[in-house]
Structure formats: structure tokens, C-alpha cells
Amino acid sequence: MTRLAFSVLLPVYAGDRHDYLARSLASVTVEQTRPPDEVVVVRDGPVSPEVQQTLAEFVATSTIPVVQVDLQYNEGLGRALDRGLAACRHDVVARQDADDISLPQRFERQLPLIEAGAALVGAGLLEFGEDEHDVVGQRTPPTSRAEIRRSARFRDPFNHPTVIYRRAAVEAVGGYAHLPLMEDYWLFMRMLESGAVAENLADALVLYRIGAGAYARRGGRALLRSELDLQRRMLAAGYVTRAEYLRNVVVRGGYRLVPEAVRRVTYRAAYMHRPRHHGSGQT
């Protein structure tokens, strides 16, 4: 099987911390058993002097080629990722967020599925607090192709910070497009409906950082507007039936409006599992 070159795509914006960013960058480069061939960092608008310094040091010292795309203003995640994809030299692209940590065998585990013909590959993740050893939960995605397609009609079947995809397959459906806070779900739904081969590994390969505002960000009127926009788009495209659309509006839309304490309990009951011990890339 041919080993494919690949890029890592990582956006950074004003809300990111420099120490988290440094840890994230190390996790996808020097700590990987199969390191990338390129890192593309998108600076989505102005960032703090500390983050700017961390980026400058990374560019200056990295043994892996680095491309930095600087956006004058904060354009939002979807547009920033589309700009970053355009700058990637390789068709295979791995996502990484500026405050998350990839376990050492992430790319070694996922890339063979891409090389075998998949266009989109995700994995499980572990949620943690300030300390990466303080794992509080585990998200395990659906793994069979049939279950991935079924679950996509109600929720995103992929953990966005874990995915690797073929840029050509992303661009074939129009890229991320602008849908605040729902860009990834809308992209993956379009990819699935276009016939893209998608896979998920159940094992957690990414440590996902949650903070005090994690559950607050999953609710509110702004997210409700994006949720309703997403459901209208899926209905208009024929991706969901009228009955599925109404169910999603009531259940998913209602979830955005309940108090944060209720949202926390509901989310953890629906998506989270008791974390298992994690080590060097295995769970």
C-alpha cells in the first residue's frame, strides 16, 4: 500500500492560549510515530502577542515544513478552514485544534484507512479538563458505515477534531461553507450523501480539552439559529425526511435552549462513556 504524504490543518484565533497551542503543535509533529509532511496554520485574525510568539518559534524551529496563512480579520472557523485547505500542498489533510492533543499513534492508525480508499476517517476522543491526565469522559463514534449514515440524520457521526480527509472530496461538495458552529456537521453530511467512503475508529486518538464554558457554548440563541439553518438545509437537500426534520428541530433545537445544567446532564448521558485508561496512542 502506498504511503501518502499529508498535511495537518490547524486554525488559531484570539481566544487560544499560547501554552495550549505549543502543546497541540508538539502533539501532531515531534510526538507522532508517523509525523506529517506539512503543517498549515491559519491565523484567523489578530492573536495575542504570546500566541504570535509561539507561532514564530514553531515556524523557526520546526523540522517539518510550516505554512502560515494570516487572515486580517476573524472570519470564523469554516472560512478559515477553507482558506487553510487551499494552502495545503497535499490531498490528505488531518484536522487539529489549537487546544487539543493528538495521541502519538493517531496518524499511524488513521492513515492506512485513507490509503485503502476512504475519503473521511474519524476516531474516538477523550475529554479532559485543565490537566490532560484528568480525563472526564470518552466519546466513541459509530464505526460501521451503515450506522454512520443512520446516525448522521440526527447527529454528527464524526468528532471533528479527530478527522482526516481527502481535500478533493471536501472541495467536491463545496468545502466547509459558512454555517457558524455547524460547519463540520454540514460538511460531513454532504460528503456522505455524495458517496464519499467514511470510516471511524472507536479508539480514542485525540484528547479534547473542555473548559468551564464548554456546555454554555453548546446552547444559546446563536447556536439555535445555526441549528435551525442546518436542519432547513438538510431538509431542502433531501438528506432528512419531513418527520426527521421535525424531530431534529424539537429535540436538537430544544437542547440549545434548556438551562446549562440540564444540557450538561443530557449531553453526557447521550454522548459520553466512562473513560478508559489511555497511554501512548492506545485506549
Q: Assign 222 a pLDDT band (cuts: 50, 70, 90).
A: confident
Q: φ and ψ at 29, to 5 degrees? A: -125, -90
Cα angle value 167/173/178 (rounded, 5°): 95
Least confident among 61-70, 205-214, 241-250, 255-264: 255-264
Cα distance between residue 15 and residue 183, in whole Å: 19
**Is 139 within 8 Å of 283 (Cβ atoms)?**
no
| Amino acid symbol at 173 | V
The mean per-residue pLDDT over the stretch 139-162 comes to: 96
Beta strands in 20-176 (DSSP E): 38-44, 66-71, 92-95, 101-102, 120-128, 135-139, 164-166
Share of the chain above pLDDT 90, in %: 77
Residue 212: its pLDDT value, please? 45
**Tell me: the pLDDT tens digits for 36-79?**
999 999 999 999 999 999 999 999 999 999 999 999 999 999 99
Least confident among 68-82, 131-145, 201-215: 201-215
Res 218 pLDDT > 60 = no
Distance set, CA 61 to CA 57, 133, 143, 150 (Å): 6, 27, 38, 45
**Tell me: the pLDDT tens digits for 2-42?**
899 999 999 999 999 999 999 999 999 999 999 999 999 99
Which residue blocks in 67-200 are alpha helix, DSSP H? 77-87, 106-115, 145-151, 167-172, 183-193
Q: Assign 129 a pLDDT band (cuts: 50, 70, 90).
A: confident
182 CB neighbour count, 10 Å cutoff: 21
The mean per-residue pLDDT over the stretch 248-260 comes to: 78
Q: Which residues contact 39 (CB under 8 A, 6 or more apart)?
A: 7, 8, 10, 25, 28, 29, 62, 64, 65, 66, 67
Cα distance between residue 274 and residue 280, in whole Å: 19
Residue 261: its pLDDT value, please? 57
**Is 265 within 8 Å of 127 (Cβ atoms)?**
no
Q: Assign 277 a pLDDT band (cuts: 50, 70, 90).
A: very low
**Tell me: the pLDDT tens digits for 105-118?**
999 999 999 999 99
Res 121 pLDDT > 60 = yes
Q: Which three cell numbers, joined as nine digits, stand for 57?
A: 518559534
Query: Which residue in the block uniquely carries the three cell numbers 440549545?
Result: 256
Distance set, CA 128 to CA 137, 190, 222, 228 (Å): 7, 30, 26, 30
Q: Assign 170 a pLDDT band (cuts: 50, 70, 90).
A: very high
**Is 199 within 8 Å of 89 (Cβ atoms)?**
no
Res 166 pLDDT > 90 = yes
Residue 282: its pLDDT value, please? 38
3 state DSSP class of 12: strand
Cα distance between residue 198 and residue 145, in whole Å: 7
Share of the chain above pLDDT 70, in %: 87
Residue 215: its pLDDT value, please? 45
